Amino acid sequence: MQQPFREIFWNIGYHYIFYSLAAVATAICLYGLLRRWQFWRSGWREKRDGGFDPGLVLQRIFLNTSIFKGDPLGGITHVCIMWGFLILFFGTALSTIDHWMISYLRGDLYLAYAFVLDVAGVALMAGVALAYLRRYVFKREKMVTIARDTTVLALLFFIALTGFMVEGFRLRAETLPWREPSPVGQWIAGVSGLSVPEALAAHRLWWWIHAAASLFLIAYFPFSKFIHVFAASVNLTLEGMRFNSYLSLEEREALKSDFSFRHLVMCDACTQCNRCAVVCPSSIAKEPLSPRKVIDETGRFARRKGGFGLMPRRAGEAALSKALAKANAVEGDPVWFCTTCGHCRRECPSAISPMDVIREIRAARVEGGEDVPVNIQEMLESVYKFKNPWQGAKGKRMDWASGLDVPVLSEGAKESRCFYVGCTFAYDSRLQEVPRSAVAIFKAAGLRFAVLGKDEACCSEFIRGVGEDGLFTELAAGNVDAFDRYGITEIVTPCPHGFHTFTNEYARMRPSMKERRVLHVSQALETILASGSLALENRGERTVTFHDPCLLGRRNGIYDAPRNVLKSIPGVRLVEMARSREKSLCCGGGGGRMWVEAGEGEKIAEIRVREAVGTGAGTIVTACPFCFSNMDDAVKTAGFEGRIVVKDITELVAESLPGGKAG
Amino acid sequence: MEILVCVKKVPDTADAEVVLKQDGTGIKEDDLASGINEWDNYAVEEAIRIKETHGGTVTVATIGSADSEDVLRRCLAMGADNAIMIDDASFKGADPYGIARGLCGVAGKGSYDLVLAGAQAGDDGYAMVGPVLAGYLGWPHATLVTSILLEGKTVTVTRELEGGLEEMLRIELPAVLTIQTGINEPRYVSIMGIRKVRAKEIPVLDPAAIGLAPGEIGANANRIKRTGLAVPPAGKEAEMIKGTPAEIARKILDIVKERGGVA
């Protein structure tokens, strides 16, 4: 008996026409990919932090784990479309190899091949059908649909459908000595009710239609939303390779482009799924910022500027709209609303970071000088002049410690552990309680430390956040110099902003910071309390909820230390808000937002406080000066005074110290 | 349009606790931040805006020492084309007449159509250098300028007067204008911007180079002598309001109402 196989071009003539069209389509596709590559290459190069996580990259790219997160149906839809498409694409490529080079699709292998391709076709059509249902019937929360989405889905569906039709007509017309394991094809062959000559004619017609649609898809691929197949894979790989956009001032000065290679890849990788806008605190508060739009408009702008001329230009005039061009009203410019909470980045299945792109746009605005909100300018000028954002005189930096015996490095104390207080804790009269509490705890626990005193300057985390890289670098260098000068080996700070920038940006800037241990005060407290050297007393039964500061939690993965501290305080019961840990809602104060006027509606912090009140807790505990100030204000403005209070984690511990808080 | 802007570096005393020197001749500046005089910043911004609309060049000049270079660099980063520094020991202790003499030498060396200066300085607050300079140059001047409109060889300006009045003046160029704050919104000057002009040469002129004899400038040209500096004694009118924040707010409202502040 003849071995099962399929004759390529069975019933089809004019092969040269097909191959000519295929060559043209492939050439257009390769040209498009080349242009994309050139576009990405026009960006500046980022550097690596070191390390590589291949598992994560492969899982996200091939198993779509990051799409399943929080949206299982979305994951199934994507897996069906992606794997259906990939199997059919490479299956067809295999048959070409079989035709031209080595014949191997014979016998059982052919039968398996035929079956797998049939299943892939079903998966693809099912995936597309699900995608349609999600877009047009279920209408998933905040999903944005543009004409292009409908087009690409329709194209995929059409190709799969015509593929099955061609197969069905062939099976109807062909008399095979074996039964092909192609259930859908067999079914179509059966229900078509065509005679053999009719089936032959229908096969020929639909074969060419199927071929034309498939070749069109290949040509259209790099110019359509499908580019995300490449761009998202590249971006996830870059994420796994731990690239970061930190540059020294010298490097930044030599830049010839606005964005980095990775920023441009991100713009092409975005499929407008809008997951970022669903979690963005600014979007939630109905402010002008949508991270998705920023990426979309940045992409349009950069592609036009980069001369990627074949891009669809529809709505292209909006490219120079507010997100990027000189804003008419600086105060309404969306880029100033980003709190750098990092939720967009965490939520994005393709590891796109709108936050980073926004930072670059801000850097361009700051360098231009004219489109910077006045409050931000004043804050920057304060940091430049006074080394703190609150126009606090240098001589008053130690006011918080009045009456306490605190060793000061700039006044001769010799200690290897530095307690970095931070500007807001040092100058804000209410928040001065926090470093005072920390000092009381350290003393009770016998932890040796000293502060920088007059040598302490703003950590400048949010200075970098608003794009003033020059000022950031100057102040950061001054701080590292001070740490070096006093031989500091460990830094403990109550401020997550300092903690973040010391561990990340400072470490990229100066090697000596890599040698230093940096702890947020909640980590130091966790160690102290776990050691049992401090017996805390019960100051009454209280229910508290913990608000994760973004720069401690989501941006640096420290969720358990503060919770362990709270659980070690006798009488304290911890309840969680719906949005906690990595899903925590920002207080609205990061990324320079402390100095940007909020929108008209309910403020981000008010939304957060409402959520905290909903847990039944009487105290919102946080561990960040900005979170504290924002939520403390929000308790008043949202009318929750008397129902809930805001406290810093150090205050809560200090209150339970034996004999009360002692200086 | 060739514009000269006179700038000065001053200590920031707005929110600081000012401490007098022992001898009473000045204040201790060690712990004070310092930077460009606020009014001068508006003047530089205005000059750059005029240049951006009408073309020409903007030159900034200061009388100072190497210590003032950062202020000039900041102006260059803002968009000024040239910066000049006059450095001479004789300017130490100079009054507005002595300073204006030096600036007059600078203005005379170029072919400027317009000289802008801050309406006053944040430290000594004389508000004299502009008018005195105009006198030495023999040019017309206007003070407390809040808008500038150029029309050929004349300029129409508005001046801020007390009682919410505005005065409109038409002045023939060349002229000296002293700029009031609020005339514009000065742009932010980034450190990156300052770095980009760090290699630009700033000529340091000694007075002889601009044709000024040592005897006629600086402290030698002084016509005012400062005889003392003091912190005024605390008045007795102040009343400390005590109570909870709500009570304090209520009392403040009562006081404001009582004095006709609100209806």
Task: List the single residue in A374, A376, A385 with the smallest CB-CB distance to B185.
Answer: A374
Do the Cβ atoms of A47 and A262 come closer than 8 Å?
no
Q: Are strands B114-118 and B2-7 parallel, antiparallel or unpaired?
A: parallel
| pLDDT reported for residue A62 | 93
Q: Is A150 within a domain?
A: yes
Do the Cβ atoms of B6 and B115 come closer than 8 Å?
yes
Query: How far lies A588's CA from each of A44, A494, A529, A591, in Å?
Result: 31, 19, 31, 9
| pLDDT reported for residue A319 | 37
Distance CA A343, CA A275 (A): 10
Residue A327 has pLDDT above 60, yes or no: no
| pLDDT reported for residue B217 | 79
Residues 59-118 of B with CB under 8 A from A: 78
Task: Collapse the DSSP code of A560 into the 3-class scheme (helix H, G, I; strand E, B; otherwise coil) and give the result.
Answer: helix
CA A357 to chain centre: 11
Q: Is A546 within a domain?
A: yes
Say yes or no: A76 and A182 in one domain.
yes
Mutate to test the interface with B, among A377, A427, A595 (most CBs of B within 10 A): A377
Cis, bond preceding B174 (omega within 30 deg of 0): yes
Tell me the per-residue pLDDT of A540-550, one tens digit each, with 9 for 90 and over. Answer: 999 999 999 99
Chain A to chain B, count of Cβ pairs less than 8 Å apart? 61
User: pLDDT category, A49, cuts 50, 70, 90?
Assistant: confident
Q: Residue A47: what residue type?
A: K
| pLDDT reported for residue A303 | 80
Burial A283-312 (b: 16+ CB within 10 A, else e): bbbebbbbbbbbbbbbbbbbbbbbebeebe
Q: Does B30 touch chain A (CB under 8 A)?
A: no
Q: Which helix (H) or strand (E) holds A82?
A: helix A72-100
Q: Does B36 touch chain A (CB under 8 A)?
A: no
Window from A372-376, A413-417, B30-34 with minimum mean pLDDT: B30-34
Which of the listed ranges A284-293, A452-461, A651-660 does the model predict with the highest average pLDDT?
A: A452-461
Residue A193 has pLDDT above 50, yes or no: yes
| Domain edge (last residue) among A529, A561, A587 | A529
**What is the arithmetic mean of pLDDT over A427-456?**
95
- The answer to whether the Cβ–Cβ distance between B33 and A473 falls below 8 Å is no
| Domain edge (last residue) among A227, A259, A280 | A227
Å between B217 CA and nearest CA of chain A: 32
What number of other Cβ atoms are within 10 A of residue B259's Cβ? Answer: 8
Tell me the per-residue pLDDT of A267-294, one tens digit each, with 9 for 90 and over. Answer: 999 998 899 999 999 999 988 889 998 9
User: What is the residue extent of each domain of chain B?
Assistant: 2-221
Q: Considering the entire predicted model, what is its pTM?
A: 0.89
User: pLDDT category, B115, cuts 50, 70, 90?
Assistant: very high
Tell me the per-residue pLDDT of A345-361, one tens digit each, with 9 for 90 and over. Answer: 999 999 999 999 999 98
Distance CA B63, CA B78 (A): 19
Contacts of A368 in chain B (CB under 8 A): 187
Distance CA B188, CA B184 (A): 12
Q: Minimal CA–CA distance to B50: which of B6, B4, B1? A: B1
User: CA-based diameter of chain B, in Å?
Assistant: 67
- The answer to whether the Cβ–Cβ distance between B188 and A377 falls below 8 Å is yes
Which residues, other chains included, contact A264 with Cβ-Cβ below 8 Å and sequence gap of 6+?
A: A39, A40, A42, A43, A299, A302, A306
Task: List the single residue in A249, A368, A385 with the smallest CB-CB distance to B35.
Answer: A385
Contacts of B194 in chain A (CB under 8 A): 470
Say yes or no: A91 and A211 in one domain.
yes
Say yes or no: A441 and A521 in one domain.
yes
DSSP B58: E
Handedness of CA A521, A523, A527, A529 (dihedral sign): positive
Say yes or no: A129 and A116 in one domain.
yes
User: pLDDT category, A585, cuts 50, 70, 90?
Assistant: very high
Say yes or no: A414 and A439 in one domain.
yes
Window from A136-150, A381-395, B179-193 with minimum mean pLDDT: A136-150
* Fold of the B2-221 domain: Rossmann fold (3.40.50)
Distance CA B218, CA B204 (A): 16
Residue A377 has pLDDT above 80, yes or no: yes
Tell me the per-residue pLDDT of A212-269, one tens digit each, with 9 for 90 and over. Answer: 999 999 999 999 889 999 999 999 999 999 888 888 888 888 888 888 999 999 999 9
Round the average pLDDT of chain A to a whole number and report it. Answer: 89
Task: Collapse the DSSP code of B193 into the 3-class scheme (helix H, G, I; strand E, B; otherwise coil) and give the result.
Answer: helix
Tell me the per-residue pLDDT of B214-259, one tens digit each, with 9 for 90 and over. Answer: 778 788 888 888 888 888 887 777 778 888 888 899 998 888 888 8
Which residues, other chains included, contact A538 with Cβ-Cβ below 8 Å and sequence gap of 6+?
A: A570, A571, A656
| Range list of H helices, chain B | 38-54, 69-78, 96-109, 129-137, 191-196, 245-258
Residue whose structure tokens are 């994420």: A239
Contacts of A471 in chain B (CB under 8 A): 190-191
Q: Is A44 within a domain?
A: no
**What is the arithmetic mean of pLDDT over B43-48?**
97
| pLDDT reported for residue A659 | 75
User: pLDDT category, A314, cuts 50, 70, 90?
Assistant: very low
Interface of A with B (CB under 8 A): 249, 252-253, 366-370, 372, 374, 376-377, 380-381, 384-386, 391, 393-395, 468-471, 473-474
DSSP B159: E
CA quadruple A605, A611, A617, A622: dihedral, nearest 10: -40
Residue A182 has pLDDT above 70, yes or no: yes
User: B14 is written with which tokens?
Assistant: 């707005």
User: pLDDT category, A331, cuts 50, 70, 90?
Assistant: low
Distance CA A355, CA A212 (A): 41
The 8 Å CB, 24+ separation contacts for A239-243 are A239/A57, A239/A351, A240/A52, A240/A53, A240/A54, A240/A56, A240/A57, A241/A48, A241/A52, A242/A48, A242/A49, A242/A50, A242/A51, A242/A52, A242/A53, A243/A46, A243/A47, A243/A48, A243/A49
User: pLDDT category, A324, cuts 50, 70, 90?
Assistant: very low
Å between A312 CA and nearest CA of chain B: 36
User: pLDDT category, A322, cuts 50, 70, 90?
Assistant: very low
Say yes or no: A168 and A29 in one domain.
yes
Tell me what percent of the residues of chain A surpass a pLDDT of 70.
94
Which residues, other chains included, contact A418 with Cβ-Cβ below 8 Å and sequence gap of 6+?
A: A409, A449, A450, A451, A452, A483, A486, A488, A490, A491, A492
Q: Minimal CA–CA distance to A35: which of A180, A195, A174, A230? A: A230
What CATH number does residue A643 fall under?
Answer: 3.40.50
| pLDDT reported for residue B55 | 94
Contacts of B38 in chain A (CB under 8 A): none
Say yes or no: A263 and A132 in one domain.
no
| pLDDT reported for residue A307 | 55
What number of other Cβ atoms are within 10 A of residue A550's Cβ? Answer: 28
Q: Which residues form the domain of A265?
A: 232-325+338-368
Distance CA A474, CA A384 (A): 9
Q: Is A380 within a domain?
A: no
Say yes or no: A398 and A426 in one domain.
yes
Question: How many domains, in total, are found in chain A?
Answer: 4
Say yes or no: A223 and A236 in one domain.
no
| Domain edge (last residue) among A529, A546, A571 | A529
| pLDDT reported for residue A27 | 97
Residue whose structure tokens are 């739009």: A293
Say yes or no: A500 and A625 in one domain.
no
Q: Which helix (H) or strand (E) holds A76?
A: helix A72-100
What CATH number does residue A239 fall under?
Answer: 1.10.1060
